[in-house]
């Protein structure tokens, strides 16, 4: 974004969007051809000389609240018919109506957006200003279990699509007033509220400022997908590796805030990002702190190992079988030779085709409804795989190598990171096809260089392993130490207060 030239810069978002003074006529004009815009005219306590109009957006405002807290007092409260007209407006603003808030608006722009947010606007005959009462509906998906991050031993609530519900889930866990929540609006048409959360005194103010600066610089039509934020906040286009770790779990989100990271929540997206993102974040699960430290450490090491397996196994198989057979144990080599004799394709072709087939089956399984998806996976994985081996289309060793690589990839807690590994797996397999272990080594060197060149909000992506000598390090990333020993927050993310316990 910083590289954009002045000429290419987007035209600024118009603020205010609807300039000018407020009036009922102008409001109706704004909502012309809006079927859900509603206007209800009422007599105050049946007095036809005193008329009021209540405007709202049907579906955004909750009918019960509108009826009980606004329309009923207007129709039934005798005081409203008796007070002088000059005091009527002030009386309603100060409690004659039962809504928990009332705000007087004289400008068109805020009144329009208040209606869109679910408030109703009350106009009195002969006046252009209005009173805004919040009567928004709270219809939304209830807080459920995180489907992508299941909890065996821990909280079972998950973020939902409602931003305010999500902030309340965080606030219930972090009751300290130092938890700051700052709202930004992103999207010309969607006007999506996006909240930046951090703990004052722990999080790095520079990171908060940088995030807010980048949020404000986003000028897009709408925030309908996570990529609408991710790809604008970090330079994601140059790397398949995710730079913004996210979670569905409020407990994990709060843990991230406690570690000094800056949180990001967007309305309509049931997840929260934690910034800056370093590579170790994509290997952590919400259960790491719930299990015994030895078990959690072992699982962590397994996940790192699986990342290497999913990345390297297909390429290594090609390199060893095609270029360096002497490195294979003799008995295994004899098995491979025996199985390979009747297969018409080259090893390189076999592996690449099987990798592709694996991706196709996985994609087909994902796109179909659950039970059918499972059936496709079974049919594709077992039946077709077995038939291909028996028909000598592929050798069993290739099937095993590709399956091991695929299954190992599923251990990645982050699907985004797993996807990046899948892409690099293809690249390394192709390099191994060209140059054996030399090509693999070259590819691995390239991968390390690539990862070392990545940054997320000014923090190196490989920070847990590559911080300089002057940068304080955190705790080991491969292992999870006993919690009483984890006294320090991560150094590279520049927390203001590194000590997290006595």
Partner 1 sequence: MRHAHVKGGVPCMPLLSSAVVLCLFLSGCSGFPAAREMGDMALLRTLGVDTAAAGVAVTGSTGPRARGLQAEGEPALTLSADRASLSAACLAMQDQSDSFVFFGYVDQLLIGEALAEEGVRPVLDYFSRDAELGLGAQLWLVRGGSARDALAAGGDEGVDSRLETIQNDSKMGIASLTRTAGEVYADLLELGSAYVPALSPAGKGEAVLTERGYGILKGDVLAGCLEGEAARGLELLAGGTLADILDVELPESRASVRVTSACTKSCLVFQGDGLSVLRLTCKAEARLTEYERRPAGGELERLQAELEERERARIEAALKQLQAWGADCTGLGAAAGMFHPAGWQRIQVDWPERFSRVPVEITVQINLNS
Q: Rounded distance, CA 216 to CA 212, Å?
A: 6
Rg (CA), the chain: 30
Q: How many CB atoms lie within 10 A of CB 267?
A: 21
Tracing tokens 């430290």 back to the chain, one arrives at 293
Whose Cβ is closer to partner 1: residue 84's or residue 330's?
330
Task: Find out whether 411 and 303 touch, Cβ atoms under 8 Å.
Answer: yes
Q: Rounded distance, CA 400 to CA 393, Å?
A: 14
322 binds partner 1 (CB under 8 A): yes
What does the block give as tokens for 372? 């059918």
What does the block give as tokens for 73? 């007092």
Residue 405: which of 354, 454, 443 has the closest Cα? 354
451 binds partner 1 (CB under 8 A): yes
206 binds partner 1 (CB under 8 A): yes
Segment 18 to 37, residues that bind partner 1, using CB under 8 A:
none
Segment 377 to 396, residues that bind partner 1, using CB under 8 A:
389-390, 392, 395-396
In the complex, least distance from residue 267 CB atom to partner 1, rounded to whole angstroms = 25
Residue 60: which of 125, 116, 144, 131 has the closest Cα? 116
495 binds partner 1 (CB under 8 A): no
5 binds partner 1 (CB under 8 A): no
Residue 98: which of 128, 77, 125 has the closest Cα? 77
Contact pattern for partner 1 over residues 138 through 177, marking x by CB under 8 A = ----------------------------------------
In the complex, least distance from residue 90 CB atom to partner 1, rounded to whole angstroms = 52
3-state DSSP call for residue 411? coil
Options 79-87, 121-129, 171-179, 238-246: segment touching partner 1 (CB under 8 A):
238-246
Selected binder of partner 1 within 348, 384, 400, 427 (CB under 8 A): 348
Residues belonging to the chain: 502
Phi-psi label, residue 103: left if phi above 0, alpha if psi -120 to 50, beta otherwise: beta
324 binds partner 1 (CB under 8 A): yes
489 binds partner 1 (CB under 8 A): no
Q: Rounded distance, CA 476 to CA 440, Å?
A: 28
Phi, psi (5° rounding) for residue 258? -65, -30
Number of H helices, E strands in the chain: 18, 12
Residue 119: which of 223, 13, 27, 232 has the closest Cα? 27
Options 12-20, 158-166, 262-270, 343-351: segment touching partner 1 (CB under 8 A):
343-351
Contact pattern for partner 1 over residues 409 through 448, marking x by CB under 8 A = ------------------------xxxxxxx-xx--xx--
353 binds partner 1 (CB under 8 A): no
Whose Cβ is closer to partner 1: residue 299's or residue 442's?
442
In the complex, least distance from residue 209 CB atom to partner 1, rounded to whole angstroms = 12
Whose Cβ is closer to partner 1: residue 430's or residue 437's?
437
Phi, psi (5° rounding) for residue 49? -80, -20
Contact pattern for partner 1 over residues 278 through 317, marking x by CB under 8 A = ----------------------------------------
Selected binder of partner 1 within 342, 369, 371, 484 (CB under 8 A): 342
Options 8-16, 82-90, 95-103, 328-336: segment touching partner 1 (CB under 8 A):
328-336
Alpha carbon separation from 313 to 216, 277, 377, 405, 426 (Å, rounded): 44, 27, 22, 6, 11
235 binds partner 1 (CB under 8 A): yes
In the complex, least distance from residue 332 CB atom to partner 1, rounded to whole angstroms = 11
Binding interface with partner 1 (CB under 8 A): 2, 206, 234-235, 237-239, 243, 321-326, 330, 333-343, 346-348, 389-390, 392, 395-396, 433-439, 441-442, 445-446, 449-460, 467-468, 470-471, 492, 494
């Amino acid at each position: 974004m910083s590289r954009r030239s002045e000429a290419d810069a987007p035209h600024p978002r118009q603020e205010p969007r609807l300039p000018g003074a407020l009036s009922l006529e102008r409001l109706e004009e704004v909502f012309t051809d809006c079927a859900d815009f509603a206007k209800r005219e009422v007599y105050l306590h049946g007095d036809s000389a005193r008329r009021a109009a209540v405007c709202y957006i049907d579906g955004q405002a909750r009918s019960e609240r509108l009826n009980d807290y606004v329309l009923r007092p207007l129709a039934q409260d005798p005081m409203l018919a008796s007070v002088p007209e000059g005091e009527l407006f002030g009386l309603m603003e100060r409690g004659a109506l039962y809504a928990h808030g009332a705000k007087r608006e004289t400008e068109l722009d805020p009144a329009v957006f208040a209606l869109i947010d679910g408030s109703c606007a009350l106009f009195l005959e002969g006046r252009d200003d209005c009173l805004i009462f919040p009567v928004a509906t709270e219809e939304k998906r209830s807080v459920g279990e995180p489907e992508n991050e299941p909890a065996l031993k821990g909280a079972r609530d998950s973020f939902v699509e409602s931003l305010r519900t999500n902030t309340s889930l965080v606030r219930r866990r972090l009751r300290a007033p130092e938890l700051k929540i700052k709202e930004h609006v992103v999207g010309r048409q969607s006007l999506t509220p996006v909240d930046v959360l951090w703990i004052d005194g722990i999080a790095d103010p520079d990171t908060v400022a940088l995030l807010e600066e980048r949020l404000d610089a986003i000028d897009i039509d709408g925030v309908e997908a996570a990529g609408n934020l991710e790809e604008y906040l970090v330079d994601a286009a140059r790397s398949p590796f995710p730079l913004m770790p996210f979670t569905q779990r409020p407990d994990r989100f709060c843990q991230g805030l406690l570690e000094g990271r800056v949180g990001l929540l967007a309305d309509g997206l049931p997840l929260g990002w934690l910034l800056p993102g370093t590579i170790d974040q994509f290997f952590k699960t919400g259960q790491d702190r719930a299990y015994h430290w030895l078990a959690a450490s072992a699982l962590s090491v397994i996940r790192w190992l699986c990342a290497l397996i999913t990345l390297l196994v297909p390429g290594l198989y090609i390199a060893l079988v095609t270029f360096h057979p002497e490195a294979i144990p003799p008995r295994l080599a004899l098995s491979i030779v025996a199985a390979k004799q009747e297969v018409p394709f080259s090893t390189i072709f076999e592996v690449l085709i099987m990798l592709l087939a694996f991706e196709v089956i996985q994609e087909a399984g994902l796109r179909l409804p659950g039970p059918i998806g499972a059936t496709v996976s079974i049919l594709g994985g077992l039946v077709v795989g077995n038939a291909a081996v028996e028909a000598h289309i592929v050798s069993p060793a290739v099937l095993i190598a590709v399956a091991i690589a695929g299954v190992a990839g599923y251990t990645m807690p982050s699907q985004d990171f797993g996807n990046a590994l899948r892409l690099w797996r293809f690249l390394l397999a192709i390099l191994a096809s060209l140059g054996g272990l030399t090509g693999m080594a070259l590819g691995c060197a390239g991968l390390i260089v690539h990862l070392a060149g990545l940054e997320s909000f000014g923090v190196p992506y490989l920070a847990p392993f590559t911080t300089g000598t002057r940068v304080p390090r955190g705790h080991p990333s491969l292992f999870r130490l006993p919690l009483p020993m984890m006294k320090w927050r991560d150094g590279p993310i520049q927390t203001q207060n590194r000590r997290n316990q006595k």
